[in-house]
Structure 1
Amino acid sequence: MGKVYLVGAGPGDPDLITVKGLKAIQQADVILYDRLINEELLQHASPYAELVFCGKRPDQHSLTQDQINALLCDYAEQGNVVTRLKGGDPFIFGRGGEEAEVLSRHGISYEIVPGITSGSAAPAYAGIPLTHRDYSSSVAFVSGVSKQDGSAENYWEHLAKGPDTLCIYMGVRKLPDICDKLIRYGRDPQTPIALVHWGTTKGQQTVTGTLIDIQEKSHLIQNPSMIVIGEVVRLRDQLKWFEETPPQELFPQEAIVG
């Protein structure tokens, strides 16, 4: 029996992979990787490793989740070291919990390797601190894809009246509906909002506005993007370091892991 590593590849900048995540890539016999990972990371794989693309786009899956689960089990049962490479963190809207459940049911050994999630990294690269003593003492990571029954209304009502800062994944297509619901349930229409497209990568773009006017600007931004809502967005004008001083590689990866 082999072993599976469920690895968070980080938000896009390849330098944000963890050391343990990088080791899992290097030691893998098989790597199953998602669309949102930076493919530069695959350069660290063994030349003998099998690379399997499991990319998912909105409403268009290369492989279904059930097929991915079956591949993880099949490869591990053949005695392989399998690295499941997922964008961000596998346990934050990455379906890593579902994959771990399947592995557990089949008695397959696995490890979870956390990664930096785009919910914290994209705002940081856009100059938006999620918490700040003067602006926000609470933050919620939120899925923009909510249930379509009556509970969806309760979901957005709670968020409108709850955390100071909202970080919304998978919400660009539903942005008008999200803004409408937050305003309807009590958020100030002038609440600042930012959309960060391809955060932490060279293609990063950020658009800001308010709940009431962001739709006039949001046509400039497509998936994948993080939505950040809250007073902390006001700090971006002062802290937008990425546009002024793009990050540089501090150490070659080989120097970190040998």
Structure 2
Amino acid sequence: MTDYSRDRLGPDDEERLPWLEPVEEDYEEERGLSPAKIAIGVIILLVVIGMIAGSVLWLRGRGDVAASGDGSVIRAPDDYYKQRPENPGGMDVGSGDEIVYSASQGNEVASEVDTRGAAEAPINVDRAQAPVTVAIPPSRTAQAGLPPAATAPAKTADAAVPTKVAPPVAKPAAPKPVAAAPVASAPAPASGGSMVQLGAFSSPAKANSAWKSLSGRFSFLSGLTQSVAPVQSGDKTLYRLRASGGDARNICARLKTAGESCSVIG
């Protein structure tokens, strides 16, 4: 029955068959570019062109600056570019340290003592200290025989008492001589244990000669005791000149004031 109905379809019915009808498009046709998009594209293009043009102009400007000049070749001067100095040996400083280093190595150094140093201090200081050194022996005897020393002044006190004070007061006076023991505080010359080192020389003869020169210039050295002691420095023997018997620090300070070199030992 179905086949029959198909056979009886007219031409109009065949035109209405689904597979013969045109298919409807699900999408719209593409529209053309909008004016806004065109304007944005033109602006971007102009900016790019402007940047390229600016870069070209900037590079040309730099090229003009670098290329400025006449392009001539720089030639070397005709005379010598190195000049020989008038004094090839340099300036003579005249340092005295070289003498010290040479003498410390045991080399013979020909030097003269400069007598134009500072003036010597008055010798009255040494004379004032002389009584202090002379008082040392009595103080030692006083310490060795303390009981007799205490009784002896007591007798003198008794002899003096009748004229001034009653006899009972003479006994308290006995301890006073004991106070005389502080005279032993005269170890002020204890600094005499220190020594002043005046230098190191390559031979004893040079050390003695230096001592003769120094003691002749500075009278406060004449009362000191001279000593020359050998010392080994590497493979050489040096001889140290030292002086003892006084205030080493004071003596060395006075020598340095006069321009001499020294050091305190001990």
Higher share in strand? 1
Higher share in helix? 2
**Structure whose alpha-carbon radius of gyration is higher:** 2
- Normalising to structure 1: TM-score of the pair? 0.20
Larger RCO: Structure 1 or Structure 2 (Cα < 8 Å, ≥ 6 residues apart)? Answer: 1
- Normalising to structure 2: TM-score of the pair? 0.20
